[in-house]
Amino acid sequence: MTDNLQFDGQGRLRHLLTIEGLSRQTILDILNTAESFITVGEREIKKVPLLRGKTVVNLFFESSTRTRTTFEIAAKRLSADVININPGVSSATKGETLLDTIRNLEAMHTDLFVVRHSQSGAAYLVAGHVPAHVHIINAGDGAHAHPTQGLLDVFTIRRHKGDFDKLRVAIVGDILHSRVARSQIHALAALGVPEIRVIAPKTLLPTAVESLGVRPYTDMQEGLADVDVVMMLRLQRERMHGAYIPSEQEYFNLYGLTAAKLRYAKQDAIILHPGPMNRGLEIDSAVADGPQSVILPQVTYGIAVRMAIMALIMGGAPETEPAARRRAG
């Protein structure tokens, strides 16, 4: 899928549909802007006026409490008006098409749509049919992309590990069906991570996965050896059709992250998981709740990152120092 829809005629980010094709500097601008929003959640009044008077519609054709809620909180902290629509109990069940739904909401003067859909390419379809003043954020489309999750994950990694250029990162689990893994790989590669590993049974590794610039492993001990970051993925039961794993117990025995398996990684390795977690299947509770886990901070950081993306694409973000220096130069 082409990414030229994401930018306007001046090269500014207009939509966020995928991380693929974003420059390192664009990603860093998002992360730096998010850094400036972290403290908003710690204030007594958790609001800034950047998007006052703007209307944001969360249009989730696929359920996700965590993602929808963090988008809602992010928009409200920017002082936008937020409307949540569940098409499963509205016009979509009456036969209205995706574009008709968008056009009707657009007629109500919506400024930004956050779209989550089970079909890959849905956000692109919408972005290609909205006027120039309307913006689209892809909150997950099929098995294709989940860009805001990828960005909040690299924000989390930077907060806990600093620079990217010396890191070794392992992504573990259902790589085949995971839009999070694809977005994460593109983000890590753009930021210059020298070694990205994927660990999964062969049935859950895409064909020619090496073309993404990753090293595939089917053994946890080999794959986790000396890594700095371990990113666990949810087993995508809803996207599986057929026997990808012999049994859930065997999957946990071989690929579930336990304290014993974590010892293969570096002593100070951090653990991420995009959620929701299947405890006892992808990850042991002792590890998920342990000192190396940054799973809950991921959720907190997700609000600041989504605030940054909304503010940047709608032209309301405060300029970060590096960006200001570039303009001055």
Instruction: Copy the structure tokens of residue 49.
Output: 């006026």
**Distance set, CA 212 to CA 172, 187, 209, 235 (Å):** 15, 11, 6, 21
Q: Determine the pLDDT at residue 327.
A: 42
Active site residue 168: no
Q: Determine the pLDDT at residue 245.
A: 83
**Mean pLDDT of the 144-148 span:** 96
Between 167 and 41, the more confident residue is 167
- Residue 18 CB contacts under 8 Å (≥ 6 apart), including other chains: 1, 3, 6, 138, 144, 145, 147, 183, 186
**Distance set, CA 32 to CA 26, 29, 52, 154, 165 (Å):** 10, 5, 22, 12, 17
- Indicate which residue of 66, 76, 103, 159 is catalytic: 66
Over the stretch 91-124, which tens digit does the pLDDT of each residue have? 555 557 889 999 999 999 999 999 999 899 999 9
Active site residue 67: yes
Q: Indicate if 132 and 227 belong to the same structural domain.
A: no
DSSP letters along 63-104, please? --HHHHHHHHHHHHHTT-EEEEE-GGGSGGGGT--HHHHHHH
Residue 18 is which amino acid? Answer: T
Residue 207 is which amino acid? Answer: T
Residue 329 lies in a domain: no
**Mean pLDDT of the 243-253 span:** 85
Active site residue 77: no
Q: Indicate if 83 and 193 belong to the same structural domain.
A: no
Q: Which is nearest to 13 in space by CA: 258, 308, 220? A: 308
Cβ burial 225-247 (10 Å sphere, 16+ → b, else e): eebbbbbbbbbbeeeeeeebbee
Q: Determine the pLDDT at residue 87.
A: 75
Residue 312 lies in a domain: yes
Residue 258 lies in a domain: yes
Asked if 265 and 221 touch (Cβ cutoff 8 Å), the reply is: no
Distance CA 278, CA 174 (A): 13
The Cβ of residue 256 has, within 10 Å, a number of other Cβ atoms equal to: 24
**Distance set, CA 175 to CA 46, 168, 228, 265 (Å):** 37, 17, 19, 20
Binding site feature residues for L-aspartate: 94, 179, 234
Q: What is the largest CA-CA distance in the chain?
A: 59
Q: Indicate if 165 and 118 belong to the same structural domain.
A: no
Label residue 319 by pLDDT band (50, 70, 90): low
Please provide the average confidence, as pLDDT, over all residues in the chain: 91
Residue 325 lies in a domain: no
- Indicate which residue of 93, 94, 202, 241 is catalytic: 94
Active site residue 46: no
Q: Indicate if 155 and 136 belong to the same structural domain.
A: no
Q: Indicate if 215 and 96 belong to the same structural domain.
A: no
Label residue 322 by pLDDT band (50, 70, 90): low
Asked if 169 and 162 touch (Cβ cutoff 8 Å), the reply is: no
Residue 277 is which amino acid? Answer: M
What is the domain range of residue 16?
4-145+300-319
- Indicate which residue of 18, 26, 67, 101 is catalytic: 67
Binding site feature residues for carbamoyl phosphate: 66-67, 116, 146, 149, 275-276
Q: Determine the pLDDT at residue 282.
A: 95
- Indicate which residue of 14, 15, 54, 116 is catalytic: 116
Q: For position 211, which CATH number holds?
A: 3.40.50.1370
Q: Indicate if 111 and 196 belong to the same structural domain.
A: no
Query: Integer distance in angstroms from the first to the last C-alpha of the chain?
Result: 34
Active site residue 266: no
If one counts the domains in the chain, the total is 2
Over the stretch 44-80, which tens digit does the pLDDT of each residue have? 999 999 999 999 999 998 888 889 999 999 999 999 9
Between 143 and 215, the more confident residue is 215
Q: Determine the pLDDT at residue 1.
A: 43
- Indicate which residue of 77, 117, 144, 146 is catalytic: 146
The angle that helices 295-313 and 24-37 make with each other, rounded to 10 degrees, is 110
Instruction: Copy the structure tokens of residue 73.
Output: 């909180």
**Distance set, CA 228 to CA 89, 116, 178, 196, 313 (Å):** 44, 31, 21, 11, 32
Q: Which is nearest to 320 in space by CA: 80, 27, 8? A: 27
Please give the angle made by the CA atoms of 210, 147 and 265, to the nearest 5 degrees: 55
